Amino acid sequence: VIYPPHSKLTDKEKTNICYLSFPDSNSGCLGDTQFCFRFRQSPGRKVSLCCFLDQLDRDLPVYLKKDSAYYYGYVYFRQVRDKSLKRGYFQKSLVLISKLPYVHLFRTMLKQIAPEYFEKSEAFLEAVCSDIDRWPPPVPGKVLQLPIMGVIMKLRIPTYRDKPGTTPIVQNMHQADAQISMALPTVHEVDLFRCFCPVFFHIQMLWELVLLGEPLVVMAPSPAESSETVLALVSCISPLKYCSDFRPYFTIHDSEFKEYTTRTQAPPSVILGVTNPFFAKTLQHWPHIIRIGDIRLPGEVPKQVKVKKLKNLKTLDSKPGVYTSYKPYLNKDEEIVKQLQKGVQQKRPTEAQSVILRRYFLELTESFIIPLERYVASLMPLQKCISPWKSPPQLRQFSQDDFMKTLEKAGPQLTSGLKGDWIGLYRHFLKSPNFDGWFRSRQKEMTQKLEALHLEALCNEVRKIQKNTEVETVDLVLKLKNKLLQADREHLPVKTDTLKKLQTHINDIILALPDDLQDILLKTGT
């Protein structure tokens, strides 16, 4: 069953969704299980929602922007004994498909509706859909109230202006009416500490592997563990966006199975979460494998564990741990390990442990990225180079050598006490998809900034125009009109006030021209 009934999915998408919506048979997930997956959108399909979401995308932090090529699937699976059924079990999944990576929001929502749906009929889904139809648009930065089957979820979607690492608290107000309200502390974060607990001693090495876009496999006993761990890995380099593909739950039926498991070329830059024992054989040649047992919060401190050699990983029964021959570039930070171990001994709540871990990753990523931000900002031309009569100047080229020279005086040592081969880490990072994605988005922002400054320079010039020839005036009007169209089309960071002034100036200039020219110019570009 699909709701709303007019939703269009290609056959390939339907097949992918069907296989990804159930745990592998060996997982033995009895009871209720929640997990998430990600799959490729079939090429060539038009999505009416995209233009609407694009407007909201502009205000999101980069790691929450939607990826036009992928969908997320959020699953609530139930498997219980039922003698009245032929197979002896009731097995059903309710799956929510969305472009939005709001894991915590959709997980909470499914928890509200799935158990009731399993008890009732399809008519219940219609009621759910009519609730969702009343939701306001997912505008970043606003406190949103989303009604769902008698409960109101209150939440706030982050914006790119939020200081990284801070989450404005959504207060739980007392409702005067009968509806219960529920404040969500986050829309997208997973329980970091719980996910990293099994590989506690290797968090810094895993951060390096994710930062560098290395091929990683997470082998877990169930899709719940595999999907949470993959999402935790991807989020550990936030506020940087992880730019390669990642699959929180991946099966042998996936349409990309052949592409990702072939031995004829090096493993691709992806993070896969798998549960099928078959993968222990198929992905033996992958360089970094994380093997996870059942995720339980430790009552006692986990024992120190060495990184294991890949040749020891023969089956999915191999002991939990990290299997790799990778040598980290940075020296180990013993401080964070001690801090988290102390938390375990003092029975500190897992949310508090996650906050400590998230702050640690954030500081590490920011220490790494600030020198790059500083160098890239220096590639911007000076304001005096911007002339209204010439095209906007170009950004200077990124030079690896020049950047490396800046590290001696303005490197990560200014904000991080960690020693190690930072230069080697940067060299490796500059070849990675994460650098490519980061640099392209910075380039786009800076080019738009230049276009905006150019527009403002034009605006200032217009006021001085008194004694131009008709030809020059017409040329200027056409230039200005194109510029206005571009500002609108590319959402240039220009003040609305500037645009209004410019439009008024254009109209004044046109009205000062002979009638025949006025007619032509007023028609152009409308």
Asked whether residue 517 is assigned to any structural domain, the reply reads no
- Together in a domain, 297 and 427: yes
Cα(209)–Cα(199) distance, integer angstroms: 14
Say if 491 falls within a structural domain.
no
Pair 318, 392 in one domain: yes
Q: How many residues does the structure list for the chain?
A: 526
* End residue of a domain, out of 412, 432, 452: 432
Q: For residues 127 and 195, state if they share a domain.
A: no
| CA–CA distance, 517 with 519 (Å, rounded to integer) | 5
- Whether residue 249 is found in the same domain as residue 117: no
327/198 same-domain check = yes
Q: Do 214 and 280 share a domain, yes or no?
A: yes
Low-confidence ranges of the chain (pLDDT < 50): 176-177, 316, 526
Q: Encode burial over 92-113: b for 16+ CB neighbours within 10 A, e otherwise.
A: ebbbbbebbbbbbbbbbbbebb
Of the chain, the end-to-end C-alpha distance in Å amounts to: 46
Six-digit token string for 54:
């694009």
CATH of the domain at 416: 3.40.50.11500
274 with 412, same domain: the answer is: yes
Closest CA to 76 of 117, 43, 33: 33
Same domain? 83 vs 232 = no
Q: Would you say residue 399 lies in a domain? A: yes
| Residue that finishes a domain, picked among 432, 462, 488 | 432
pLDDT, residue 370, reads 93
Does residue 245 share a domain with residue 120? no
Asked, for residue 246, whether it belongs to a domain, the answer is yes
- Is 154 a domain residue? no
Element of type H or E holding 96: strand 89-98
Asked if 233 and 2 count as a contact pair (C-beta separation under 8 A), the reply is no
Structural domain includes residue 5: no
Give domain status of residue 35, yes or no. yes
What is the distance, to the nearest Å, from the Cα of residue 288 to the centroid of all Cα atoms in its chain? Answer: 22
Same domain, 222 and 338: yes
* pLDDT score recorded for residue 171: 62
Domain that holds residue 84: 11-133
C-alpha torsion 475→478→479→482, nearest 10? -170
Q: Is 205 helix (H, G, I), strand (E, B) or coil?
A: helix
The predicted structure's pLDDT at residue 526: 46
Instruction: For residue 304, give every residue at least 6 positions away whose Cβ sits within 8 Å of its Cβ, in sequence order, or none.
Output: 201
Residue 106 phi, psi (nearest 5): -75, -30
Say if CB 47 and CB 119 are below 8 A apart.
Answer: no
Q: Give the pLDDT score at 72.
A: 96
Phi, psi dihedrals of residue 93, rounded to the nearest 5°? -125, 140
Distance between CA 237 and CA 241 in Å, rounded? 7
pLDDT of residue 47: 58
- Whether residue 387 sits in one domain with residue 241: yes
| Cα 246 from Cα 231, distance rounded (Å) | 8
Count of domains for the chain: 2
Domain termination residue (choose one: 86, 101, 133): 133
Give domain status of residue 105, yes or no.
yes
Tell me: do 79 and 205 sit in the same domain. no
